[in-house]
């Protein structure tokens, strides 16, 4: 049993009716087998004219494993053509459902006149679908989009590309064991080994001293390359990392994220995107790395790409 | 039943593993006792950025005591308390670290910590 609402009008109530017969059961079975025709309610077109058909289940039995409410033909379903076709089928069947009387029927009845209006609006919607899809793309855009990872051209290196990923500190911070057992190198390479990974450990030779030269060499034995030594697409995803050193004491890594900042994870502490002054890190060369303290990561060693074949342990 | 291990950790590094000393139950208990006698204070976030982040005293099971220059956070299972730190406790911690650093691998580091924490 479900309720159909055609999202069409601006002033008067939308056409709506309740379906509770074998035709309705068949329709749900069909939708369940073509899930690419449905989308979330309110996810799609919201302008004037036809905006989709909303289906709401009226019982709690999760028939056909469909969501409790969804929309057909609102511009965002994976299969637009099939979605519009299905919308026409639903409207085609509306005659006869006026027997389940609803308050809205006093103003927007379930009759042939309304059916004709709806069908006309679906025809217009189909003609305008490219414009509607374009509008939805614009409406849902966010800086950097919603992609987890994007490929970018390296502004510093002609022809080189690498991938920037969405900042996801919870991955490193929510589980105390993950936080404690993964360090800056794990974070920079974006690989949770739970071993407090060390440059060169996998390849059998770690840095003998804490210097740019030694730590850089150890990391390059793991497979990192200097920035502007372009990595091919086969190394996707390719991270941009930065190395700094507290001479004789320790090293630290940063990783470039989407949206123009860098993330890092000081040892077993939380991953974050701000420096020691609580300022968002836009450049690891100039961020606060312990300024004014004895444990200051003063030396900037360079930028590196870490591709898929970099193994750390 | 596995033996409880008592540790004193110098929480300072980002890439390298922190220096950790396995200490005796007696040394752990004595420090814990003296820390518990300190004046209670309001909770506040402890410093967790790059650089020296303090000492961590633990039995590696249920008791984790984070000690920074002016504040101590005691976590016993799910119970958390905060204490005002003092120079006496800091001196003791530095002495314990020096005592257990038998090979003097961290002599310079401990010296720097003392320089920062002790007046």
Q: What is the pLDDT of residues A86-124, one digit of tens each?
A: 999 999 999 888 877 788 888 888 999 999 999 999 999
> What pLDDT was estimated at residue A285?
98
Instruction: Write the residue in A183, A196, A289 that is nearest to B50 by C-beta.
Output: A289
Can you read off the two tokens belonging to residue A25?
């059961």
Average pLDDT over residues A169-182: 94
Best mean pLDDT range from A14-28, A66-80, A130-144, A203-217: A203-217
DSSP string covering A239-284: EEEEEEEETTTEEEEEEEBGGG-EEE--TTS--BSB-TTS-B-S-T
Report the largest interatomic distance among the alpha carbons of chain B, rounded to a whole angstrom: 43
Locate the chain A residue with the closest alpha carbon to B105. A249
Residues near A255 by beta carbon (within 8 Å), at least 6 away in sequence:
A187, A188, A189, A190, A239, A240, A241, A242, A262, A263, A264
Q: A-chain residues within 8 Å CB-CB of B50?
A: 252, 266, 275-276, 289-290, 295, 297
Question: Chain A closest CA to B109's CA: distance in Å?
Answer: 8
Q: Which residues pair with A302 in a beta bridge?
A: A243
Q: Are B63 and B52 in contact (CB under 8 A)?
A: no
Q: Are B83 and A304 in contact (CB under 8 A)?
A: no
Q: Are A290 and A297 in contact (CB under 8 A)?
A: yes
ipTM passes above 0.90: yes
Is there a contact between B109 and A249 if contact means CB atoms under 8 Å apart? yes
Q: How far apart are CA A267 and CA A251, in angstroms?
A: 10
Can you read off the two tokens belonging to residue B6?
């008592």
Is there a contact between A196 and B17 if contact means CB atoms under 8 Å apart? yes
Question: Phi/psi at A126 (nearest 5 deg)?
Answer: -65, -40
Question: Chain B closest CA to A243's CA: distance in Å?
Answer: 10
Q: Are A189 and A310 in contact (CB under 8 A)?
A: yes
Q: Are strands A239-246 and A299-306 parallel, antiparallel or unpaired?
A: antiparallel
- How confident is residue B71, by pLDDT bands cut at 50, 70 and 90? very high
Question: Chain B closest CA to A184's CA: distance in Å?
Answer: 6
Q: Are B85 and B69 in contact (CB under 8 A)?
A: yes
> What pLDDT was estimated at residue A10?
77
- How confident is residue A48, by pLDDT bands cut at 50, 70 and 90? confident
Can you read off the two tokens belonging to residue A166?
């969405």
pLDDT tens column, B43-56: 989 999 999 999 99
In this structure, what DSSP letter does residue B40 have? B
Q: B-chain residues within 8 Å CB-CB of A266?
A: 14, 48-50
Q: Which residues pair with B6 in a beta bridge?
A: B23
Average pLDDT over residues B3-27: 96
Locate the chain B residue with the closest alpha carbon to A288. B50
Is there a contact between B50 and A276 if contact means CB atoms under 8 Å apart? yes
Is there a contact between A294 and B18 if contact means CB atoms under 8 Å apart? no
């Amino acid at each position: 049993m479900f309720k159909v609402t055609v999202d069409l009008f601006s002033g008067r109530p939308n056409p709506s009716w309740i379906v509770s017969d074998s035709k309705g059961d068949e329709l749900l079975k069909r939708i369940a087998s073509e899930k690419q025709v449905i989308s979330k309610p309110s996810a799609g077109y919201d302008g004037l004219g036809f905006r989709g058909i909303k289906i709401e289940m009226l019982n709690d039995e999760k028939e056909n494993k469909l969501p409790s409410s969804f929309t057909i033909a609102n511009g965002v379903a994976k299969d637009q053509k099939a979605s519009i076709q299905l919308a026409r089928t639903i409207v085609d069947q509306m005659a006869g459902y006026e027997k389940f009387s609803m308050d809205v029927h006093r103003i927007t009845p379930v009759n042939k006149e309304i059916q004709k209006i709806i069908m006309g609006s679906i025809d217009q919607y189909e003609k305008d679908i490219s414009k509607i899809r374009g509008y939805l793309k614009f409406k849902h855009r966010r800086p950097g989009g919603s992609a987890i990872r994007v490929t970018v051209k390296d502004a510093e290196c002609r022809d080189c590309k690498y991938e920037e990923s969405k900042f996801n500190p919870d991955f490193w911070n929510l589980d105390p064991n993950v936080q404690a057992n993964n360090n800056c190198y794990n974070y920079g390479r974006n690989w949770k080994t739970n071993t407090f990974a060390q440059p060169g450990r996998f390849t059998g030779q770690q840095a003998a001293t804490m210097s740019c030269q030694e730590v850089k060499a150890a990391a390059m034995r793991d497979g990192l390359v200097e920035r502007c030594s372009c990595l091919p697409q086969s190394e996707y995803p390719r991270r941009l990392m930065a190395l700094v050193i507290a001479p004789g004491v320790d090293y630290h890594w940063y990783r470039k994220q989407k949206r123009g900042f860098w993330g890092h994870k000081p040892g077993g502490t939380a991953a974050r995107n701000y420096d020691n002054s609580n300022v968002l890190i836009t450049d690891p060369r100039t961020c606060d790395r312990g300024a004014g303290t004895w444990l200051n990561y003063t030396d900037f060693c360079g930028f590196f790409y870490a591709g898929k074949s970099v193994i750390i342990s | 039943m596995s033996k409880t291990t008592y540790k004193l950790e110098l929480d300072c590094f980002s890439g390298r593993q922190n220096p950790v000393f396995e200490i005796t139950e007696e040394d752990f208990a004595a420090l814990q006792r003296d820390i518990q006698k300190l004046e209670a204070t309001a909770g506040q976030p402890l410093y967790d950025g790059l650089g020296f982040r303090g000492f961590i005293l633990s039995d590696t099971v249920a008791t984790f005591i984070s000690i920074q220059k002016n504040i101590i956070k005691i976590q016993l299972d799910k119970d958390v308390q905060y204490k005002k730190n003092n120079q006496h406790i800091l001196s003791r911690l530095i002495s314990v670290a020096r005592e257990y650093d038998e090979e003097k691998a961290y002599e310079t580091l401990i010296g720097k910590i003392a320089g920062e924490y002790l007046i």
